[in-house]
Amino acid sequence: MDTLGGAEFAPVMTYLNTSSCGLLPRRAVEAVHALAEENASGRRGEGAGSFESVGAARASFARLAAVPAERVAVGSSVSVHVGLIAASLPPGAEVLFPEGEFSSVVTPFAVRRDLVLRYAPLDGLAEAVRPGTALVAFSAVQSADGRIADLDAVRAAAAAHGARTLLDTSQSAGWLPLDAGAYDYTVTGAFKFLVCPRGTSFLTVTEEAQESLVPMHAGWIAAEDLWASTYGPVEQLASSARRFDEATSFLSYHGAEQSLALLEEIGVKAIHAHGTALAARFRAGLTGLGHEPVPGESAIVSVKGLTHRHPDLERAQVAVSIRAGYVRAAFHLYNSDADVDRALEVLAG
């Protein structure tokens, strides 16, 4: 199986670490370089980048997430988006998480000290929702081991008990089809499977849930009329989710515009089929070597008992990561059968 990215990607090693950071396509690198040169020379003139590029990235992500662009806010990190949601809850509200959930989803709630935090096994998360649960916060795909949550069951349980939902798609957006409108909030770090520069993140908010959030970090870019709102308090915030925008890194978003356009050209459906087929090949190979990878149909494969082989993989120029006692490999559009076979060859000794 060949790669999907073609000449856009040029890894110099067997790169199976997209769960930590995705590779940038050539067109994104060129866009960042061009803006950096303009900033260095003064040719950009007023400002350090283009709001049109930010808007194009927002619109592109919205299409990938199957929501209107008016429901998408841009930012720099998942934890800032989650912090905004955490600040909206009343004292004593109960928030339910999967056990072992990524810390950027949990910590903004934990630091408040006046919320009730509860945890349940991922495969029992839906059953753990109860009357009085205000919010279920969870990842579509778990960072440590690549397990996919039962999204339909959790949504149904939350709806039955009047709880809102917060879905982190950082380990899934770009390879797993996303219907962001099915959740009150989604947050996405775009520097993984969306192959954007770090410093790019997205928040989606349903129209109903938008009214529950106070844009605590609002600046002039959150205004309905940007250039009439540069001094004094903003008199009219944007009517869309843009009211929750952070001040953006133009370098990151000029690159993101190009990265997201590439993903749209290839299509998430094709990327999903490609990545999951490679992951299945890797799972089968690991099983043949006598190991027990985490089962499932994820593009992320984790296996315990092999962390001591990480130095061997590094020496062989095979990039994976170690998380929670697992060796974790991730397969994306720039990977091929040869990458799978090379990793298995090293592990076979």
Per-residue pLDDT of 37-84, as tens digits, reads 998 888 766 668 899 999 999 999 999 999 999 999 999 999 999 999
Give 43 or 341, the one with higher predicted confidence.
Answer: 341
The 10 Å Cβ neighbour count of residue 341 is 14
At residue 280, the pLDDT reads: 98
At residue 320, the pLDDT reads: 98
Give 227-277 pLDDT, tens digit per residue: 888 899 989 999 999 999 999 899 999 999 999 999 999 999 999 999 999
At residue 48, the pLDDT reads: 86
Backbone angles phi, psi at 105, to 5 degrees: -85, -35
Q: What tokens does 113 get? A: 């000290």
The 10 Å Cβ neighbour count of residue 237 is 15
Contact (CB, 8 A) for 266 and 259? no
Of the chain, the percentage scoring pLDDT greater than 90 comes to: 88
Give 273-330 pLDDT, tens digit per residue: 999 999 999 999 999 999 999 999 999 999 999 999 999 999 999 999 999 999 999 9
**Does the pLDDT of residue 140 top 80, yes or no?**
yes
Backbone angles phi, psi at 288, to 5 degrees: -65, -25
Q: Which residues contact 18 (CB under 8 A, 6 or more apart)?
A: 192, 193, 330, 331, 332
Name the residue with tokens 């205000």.
134
At residue 47, the pLDDT reads: 67
Give 340 or 48, the one with higher predicted confidence.
Answer: 340
Q: Rounded to an integer, what distance in angstroms lies between the CA atom of residue 99 and that of residue 82?
A: 18
Inter-CA distances, 49 with 56, 200, 283, 293, 324, Å: 13, 14, 44, 45, 39
Q: Which residues contact 290 (CB under 8 A, 6 or more apart)?
A: none
* pTM, rounded to two decimals: 0.95
Q: Rounded to an integer, what distance in angstroms lies between the CA atom of residue 122 and that of residue 129?
A: 12
Strands (E), 106-243: 116-120, 133-139, 164-168, 185-189, 201-205
At residue 4, the pLDDT reads: 93
- Domains of the chain with CATH codes: 6-25+267-347 (3.90.1150.10), 33-265 (3.40.640.10)
Report the mean per-residue pLDDT for the chain: 95
At residue 229, the pLDDT reads: 84
